[in-house]
Amino acid sequence: MKTAISIKVNGVNHQDEVEPRLLLIHYLRDVLGLTGTHVGCETSLCGACTVLMDGQAVKSCTIFAVQATGSQITTIEGLAKNGDLHPVQEGFWEHHGLQCGFCTPGMIVASAQLLDRNANPSRDEIRHGLEGNLCRCTGYQHIVESVEYAARLAGK
Amino acid sequence: MANKYVGKRVKRTEDPRLIRGLAHYVDDIRLLDTLHVAFVRSVYAHARINSIDFSEALKNSGVVAIYTGKDVQQTIGPVPCASALPGLKVPDYRVLATDKALFVGHPIAAVVASDRYSAQDAVNLISVDYEELPAIIDVEQAAKGGPVIHQNFGDNIAYKLTSGEGDIDAALASADRVIKQRMVHQRLAPIAMEPRGVLARYFPGEGELTVWSSTQIPHLLRTQLALMIGIPENKLRVITPEVGGGFGSKLNVYAEEALLGWIAMQLGKPVKWIEGRRENIQGTIHGRGQVGYIEVGCKNDGTVTGLRYTVFADLGAYHQLLTPAIPTLTGLMLSGAYKIPAIQINVTGCFTNKMATDAYRGAGRPEATYVVERAMDLVARELGLDATEVRRKNFPAAAEFPFHTATGLDYDSGDYEAALKKAKEIIDYEELRQEQKRARAEGRLLGIGVSTYVEICAVGPSKAMPAGGWESATVRIEPTGKVTVLTGASPHGQGQETSFAQIAADELGVDLNDVTVIHGDTGIVQYGIGTFGSRATAVGGTAVLIAIQKLKEKANKIACHLLQADAANVMFESGRFSLQTAKAAAAGVSEPVHPVGEAPAGALPEPQTNGKSSVTIQDVALAAHLAKELPPDTEPGLSATYFFEPKNFTFPFGTHIVAVEVDRETGEVKFLRYVAVDDCGKVINPMLVDGQVQGGIVQSIGQALYEEVVYDEQGQLLTGSLMDYALPKASQVPWMELDRTETPTPVNPLGVKGVGEAGTIGATPAIVGALVDALSPYGVKHLDMPVKPETLWRIINSQN
């Protein structure tokens, strides 16, 4: 028994019929082929699957695709505009905010939302804002510096 | 050679694909008609499997096949253990359990279905008739007796081992003081953010099997899988695409990797298995898991005279690749950064009904460092001396290197006092101690912890390794002048695509962006060993360097021929071979023959050398490929391969000093300062080194404060998801103030020692030491990890 959904992802409209139990992350990855967003824990703790749903950072491993119908989703693949990296992407590259890169798409999307809400966050605010995203490689310090850099870049 | 890149903070070349979500981890590789595999895993720690009923599951839509232990017992060889210790008992570790399950998560059946949801549905329909057996969970109990896991062995002791030099009995008997302490190194889960994953595809016509696996050791995996599955090694290709972290957990050969390859061969369709996080904590190796007793002898002036460590190693139910070897690394590093004349380790490796322990970042060395550093703190405490003074007193001087330890090692180079001095200056140690006095007078619990660690890295000489300790590189310059580096190392986040390109670009005088580093594909890259033990740059980077030197020798010959000059009159600089007499006129940047993005024409242009006073290395590469104008007896083409065998390990070191404050009301720990001065020899890219150190320190914080794999008395895993297994978050870790000293190693021409594990090895004892110091007003001399707020709160409140 499949259900019709209509979702706009990275500016493109998609109509599909999916099982009601299909998770948003699997819809994005397996149906649309947008594999940039990752599954890290399946329990909404690690944040590797973070995407923007109508501008809100959500964990796509614990949302059904049918719940996202009618909404606009932005994934990591949709952050760069016209070939220009998003300031947060620039920041992560500039400040070595990633090592293995697996948490990175979720971390970058969460950071982008953080800066949307607070254009000039303190280090503590950045750390608090990224509590829902785990990174096992960096120890977070370079991530904090990456977000600071992005804030400066975006503010220019 | 002028360094344009080496030693500089160069942005990573691997990042553009990673930050845009365009990289490919195993699960991102999508092949047509791929089937998905899910596993039935034991829910008991120890149980007889009476029967498995999968009749309902087979009826479920999408299910293609179900395999149990009986199907593969005769066809897939055991999961390998590469450790060879005298008298080691090695259980027969089959890829699927047959008659008994020996740990929670032990794979029992594999379901193949059209998609991952159907496969999991079918798993839920399979009913296993278990007969639960008593489990043995506590390692010290396992050493004494209790239910025997492997009946054929008679007991649960896998091996006993004693090693060390010097007369430890005499040393302890003649010491002014002997201090004893029990110490627990709790089990940890490595938790690479990308769980394991395997994709396998078989072409029956060609007889070729390709296995994509998230591994640190593609070539070693290929050899072992070939043996397990029985396919010729040269018909098996292992590809490691992007790997989302390893930390040692992917330095292994797992049952699932062999099974997926075998299933692909049975079904003739691609099969994929992506490990879930729950599976990952159940069935991917754990780290640490030692319970030990230390005895340290010292003179009244603080000189340490002997150290004995009697340890029970919790190996788990089976040996994975290096399981029994990890405690031997602990034994090797028990001298720490100190002159200790007598050292002894007594290891009892025990089977327990748990997942195997194996190499987790540091692999036996964090345990050693913890033992030695905690011992130094205990000595300082016993004698009322300063923790840094006791350490300084026992350091070998810089002039004493190479320094032989009573564990049988020869440390390559070091200046331990310099690192200690620098760290103390940065944190203003004397003032910090004064601040602590003032804080205590106010009733605040401020603690200072120190670790002056040394680690063993760049593993290592082949005689000390089970499967070769060298690393390989091929460097070639393509006809268009682009440089390709093939490395046998298999980096997975460490950034060697960048750092090796830095080495190559400087050595060849080309632009960094004209170098591509390829790794992790046994079909493309010559045999290699892999990335672990802080070895990739020190061993693999050296192979790159020497391969380039070989390549340049040939290029030089060809250049001389093209310039019609004697070798003595030609020099190479900034990518250009020039007649010395015309050197001044030849300054300029080397260019690829074809601009970026422009496809070479069918017929390549001839290099224009007539009458020139210089040729670029790209001109030489083209000439080498066209082979029309080469010196006599010169092989066409321009590539060189080198296998570098190091003569010794390297021994990076450093000092970490941390200041913490414990909240009296809640027991919570607040970091006030964290200073780390690390010495990893020469640095190729300081930004990458900082990243390695920071990440390592935070994993240490995880061990010190948060992380622990907990099994209950029946062997149920209580920390089976990230809801229960606590990883450090961004808000829980301090700002780390990093600095370095630089003592090059003589072991390799790069002078690089390795840095991947420094933070994880050096930081833990400093943090625990700081907490002990904070609570010393309560008479606390030692705390076992993870030191939870509850523990601290109880100490504070039980004695108020």
pLDDT, mean of residues B421-443: 98
**pLDDT over 90 percentage in chain A:** 97
Looking at A50, A76, A102, the residue that finishes a domain is A76
Model confidence pLDDT, tens digit, residues A23-65 = 999 999 999 999 999 999 999 999 999 999 999 999 999 999 9
Q: Do A92 and B15 touch (CB under 8 A)?
A: yes
For A138, which residue in chain B has the nearest alpha carbon?
B695
Q: Do A98 and B690 touch (CB under 8 A)?
A: no
Which residues in A lie closer than 8 A to residue B727 (C-beta atoms)? 134, 136
Q: Do A139 and B194 touch (CB under 8 A)?
A: no
Neighbours of B271 (CB within 10 A): 27
Residue B712 burial by Cβ neighbours in a 10 Å radius (0-12, 13-18, 19+) = exposed
* Residue B609 binned pLDDT confidence (cut-offs 50, 70, 90): low
The two three-digit tokens of residue B467, written as one number: 């499967």
Please give the ipTM for the structure prediction. 0.98
Does A82 reside within a domain? no
Q: Do B22 and A89 touch (CB under 8 A)?
A: no
DSSP-derived secondary structure letter, B324: G
Q: CB-CB: which of B15, B192, B722 is closest to A98?
A: B15
Give whole-number Cα distances, B186 to B110, B522, B705, B775, in Å. Answer: 31, 36, 11, 21
Q: CB-CB: which of B19, B23, B759 is closest to A93?
A: B19
Confidence (pLDDT) at B799: 57
Q: CB-CB: which of B19, B193, B493 is closest to A108?
A: B19
Which residues in A lie closer than 8 A to residue B23 (C-beta atoms)? 36, 101
Instruction: Tell whether the model's pLDDT for residue B539 goes beyond 80.
Output: yes
pTM for the whole thing? Answer: 0.96
Phi then psi for residue B612, to 5 deg, are -85, 155
Which residues in A lie closer than 8 A to residue B731 (C-beta atoms)? 124, 127-128, 130-131
Q: CB-CB: which of B27, B243, B278 is closest to A100?
A: B243
User: Which of A102, A131, A144 to mutate against chain B (most B CBs within 10 Å)?
Assistant: A102
Q: Do A133 and B730 touch (CB under 8 A)?
A: yes
Q: Assess whether A47 and A111 both reside in one domain.
A: no
Q: Assess whether A16 and A53 both reside in one domain.
A: yes
Which residues in B lie closer than 8 A to residue A61 (C-beta atoms)? none
Q: CB-CB: which of B15, B19, B193 is closest to A136?
A: B193
User: Which of A123, A135, A136, A149 to mutate against chain B (most B CBs within 10 Å)?
Assistant: A136
Q: Do B12 and A75 touch (CB under 8 A)?
A: no
pLDDT, mean of residues B546-571: 96
Which residues in A lie closer than 8 A to residue B12 (C-beta atoms)? 93, 96
Q: Do B694 and A141 touch (CB under 8 A)?
A: yes
Q: Assess whether A8 and A53 both reside in one domain.
A: yes
Q: Assess whether A11 and A53 both reside in one domain.
A: yes
* Residue B593 binned pLDDT confidence (cut-offs 50, 70, 90): very low
Return the CATH number at A110: 1.10.150.120
For B277, which residue in chain A has the nearest alpha carbon?
A41
Q: Assess whether A24 and A45 both reside in one domain.
A: yes
For residue A94, what are the domain limits? 87-155
Instruction: Tell whether the model's pLDDT for residue B607 goes beyond 70.
Output: no
Does A123 reside within a domain? yes
* A47 contacts A114 by C-beta, under 8 angstroms: no
Quick check: helix, strand or coil at residue B639? strand
DSSP assignment of B547-614 equals HHHHHHHHHHHHHHHHHT--GGGEEEETTEEEEGGGGGGG-S----SS-TTPPPPSSPPPP--TT-SE
Confidence (pLDDT) at B580: 85
Confidence (pLDDT) at B589: 45
**pLDDT over 70 percentage in chain A:** 100
B315-329, B364-378, B599-613, B654-668: least confidently modelled range: B599-613
Quick check: helix, strand or coil at residue B256? helix
Confidence (pLDDT) at B460: 85
Q: Assess whether A18 and A42 both reside in one domain.
A: yes
Does A126 reside within a domain? yes
Q: Assess whether A12 and A37 both reside in one domain.
A: yes
Does A81 reside within a domain? no
Q: CB-CB: which of A33, A128, A138 is closest to B731?
A: A128
Return the CATH number at A7: 3.10.20.30
Q: CB-CB: which of B18, B247, B277 is closest to A42?
A: B277
Using a CB–CB cutoff of 8 Å, tell me whether B121 touches chain A.
no
Confidence (pLDDT) at B604: 63
pLDDT, mean of residues B489-501: 96
Model confidence pLDDT, tens digit, residues A7-18 = 999 999 999 999
Q: Assess whether A107 and A142 both reside in one domain.
A: yes
CA distance A139 to chain B (A): 4
User: Domains of chain B, with CATH numbers?
Assistant: 31-133+200-245+250-274 (3.90.1170.50), 290-460+648-798 (3.30.365.10), 470-644 (3.30.365.10)
Q: Do A139 and B736 touch (CB under 8 A)?
A: yes
Using a CB–CB cutoff of 8 Å, tell me whether B757 touches chain A.
no
Chain position carrying tokens 């690749």: B321
CA distance A124 to chain B (A): 7
Looking at A19, A47, A76, the residue that finishes a domain is A76
Q: Do B690 and A96 touch (CB under 8 A)?
A: yes
Q: CB-CB: which of A37, A42, A134 is closest to B193?
A: A134
Q: Do B245 and A137 touch (CB under 8 A)?
A: yes
pLDDT, mean of residues B669-681: 98
The two three-digit tokens of residue B544, written as one number: 């790159």
Model confidence pLDDT, tens digit, residues B301-354 = 999 999 999 999 999 999 999 999 999 999 999 999 999 999 999 999 999 999
* Residue B587 binned pLDDT confidence (cut-offs 50, 70, 90): very low
Q: Assess whether A92 and A145 both reside in one domain.
A: yes
Q: Do B193 and A48 touch (CB under 8 A)?
A: yes
Confidence (pLDDT) at B612: 82
Average pLDDT, chain B: 95
Residue B445 CA from chain centroid, whole number: 36
Instruction: Tell whether the model's pLDDT for residue B585 goes beyond 70.
Output: no
Closest CA to B649 of B408, B372, B342, B416: B408
Give whole-number Cα distances, B10 to B4, B391, B402, B492, in Å. Answer: 10, 36, 33, 18
Instruction: Tell whether the model's pLDDT for residue B598 goes beyond 50.
Output: no
Looking at A76, A105, A139, the residue that finishes a domain is A76
Q: Assess whether A140 and A112 both reside in one domain.
A: yes
For A141, which residue in chain B has the nearest alpha carbon?
B735
Quick check: helix, strand or coil at residue B748? coil
CB pairs under 8 A between A and B: 177
Model confidence pLDDT, tens digit, residues B41-64 = 999 999 999 999 999 999 999 999
Q: Assess whether A57 and A100 both reside in one domain.
A: no
Q: Do A144 and B730 touch (CB under 8 A)?
A: yes
Q: Which stretches does DSSP call E strand in chain A? A: 3-9, 12-18, 50-53, 56-59, 72-74
For B243, which residue in chain A has the nearest alpha carbon?
A100
Q: Do B243 and A98 touch (CB under 8 A)?
A: no
Type of residue numbered B174: S
Instruction: Tell whether the model's pLDDT for residue B595 goes beyond 60.
Output: no
User: Whole-angstrom Cα distance, residue B677 to residue B418?
Assistant: 10
CA distance A126 to chain B (A): 8
Using a CB–CB cutoff of 8 Å, tell me whether B721 touches chain A.
yes
Q: Assess whether A12 and A66 both reside in one domain.
A: yes
Q: How many domains does chain A have?
A: 2
Type of residue numbered B794: R
The two three-digit tokens of residue B499, written as one number: 């750092």
Using a CB–CB cutoff of 8 Å, tell me whether B124 touches chain A.
no
Model confidence pLDDT, tens digit, residues B99-128 = 999 999 999 999 999 999 999 999 999 999
